[in-house]
A and B are shown apart, each in its own frame.
Chain A
Amino acid sequence: MDCRHLEDLYELFLLRALSETEETQVLEHVERNCPACLEGLRHAGMMLYALLLSAPPVKSSPKQKGRLLRRLKEA
């Protein structure tokens, strides 16, 4: 399958920022387990992971962590 025309779309696909037409184009490949597109999505995911975590960090309070750990026990 030729996927070169999709190379610029993987990040926007993962962010759900594409038009419906382009989203469908990528989805058609992905649903058929196109290896090149799946690889492209993984690389895109890696880049977005770094970009999304680039915002200035904000520390949570120990109280918040305590509440989460209590809720885990109940889950």
Chain B
Amino acid sequence: MEYENQELLNRIAQGSEEALGLFYDRISPSLRGMLQKILASKKEAEEVLEETFLSFWKRALTARSEGVASEVWLVFAARSAALRRRKLQSEGNEKAGELPEAWLPRIKDISQLSGRMPLFTSSLAQLSTPQRRVLEMVLFEGCREKEIADALGKPAGRAQDEVRAALSFMRQRLHTLMGTWTADI
């Protein structure tokens, strides 16, 4: 039987190990793909995946996260743990990469996005090569804008413009794909 993420997450919150297993089957390949991109070592990626799922399980049993897309918490927690391993984001403690409830997207937004993710990420191909490179550096290498400029030997303003133009382009694409943009900003 095909469960919606939300149904699985509700069951996980009630302590269902079976639901966690099913959720693991669903999300772990892409999560592992992200981790492998951050950490060259397969073994380390496996370890971080396991540790993050354990934290996710403990959090699910205690947090009251109604309406909140917990899978986003999981992805950020995994990224942050992997970057700590790589010692690229050494500042901050273990909890530093964990997003507070109030910052997390709503379930309805993530469900709406799910089916459109391949179309959305295919737009990455429309970025220029330098824009794609700097985006990779912020996403998967944990670089701050200043560090990108230093690493690529570019003026700080130029590197910053490239990162922000890439993000702005993707934001517009998401806006178009999602149809309705509900942010009142």
Contacts and interface: CB of A to CB of B under 8 A. Distances in A.
A39 B183 contact: yes
B86 interface: no
B20 A57 contact: no
Contact of B144 (A3, A19, A42, A57): A19
B117 interface: yes
Nearest to A36: B185
B46 A8 contact: no
A58 B184 CA distance: 38
Interface residues of B, number: 65
Nearest to B103: A41
Contact of A55 (B34, B46, B143, B183): B34
B146 A47 contact: no
Contact of B103 (A35, A38, A59): A38
Nearest to A4: B185
Interface in A21-75: 30, 33, 35-43, 45-60, 64-65, 67-69, 71-73, 75
A60 B32 contact: yes
Interface string B152-170: 0000000000011001101
Given A12-B164, A72-B54, 10 more contacts: A7-B185, A16-B89, A17-B142, A17-B144, A19-B145, A38-B103, A52-B140, A60-B29, A60-B32, A69-B21
Interface of B: 17, 20-21, 24-25, 28-34, 36-37, 45-46, 49-50, 53-54, 57-58, 69, 71-72, 75-76, 79, 89, 92, 96-97, 99, 102-106, 109-110, 113, 117, 120-121, 124, 135, 138-140, 142-146, 163-164, 167-168, 170-171, 174, 182-185
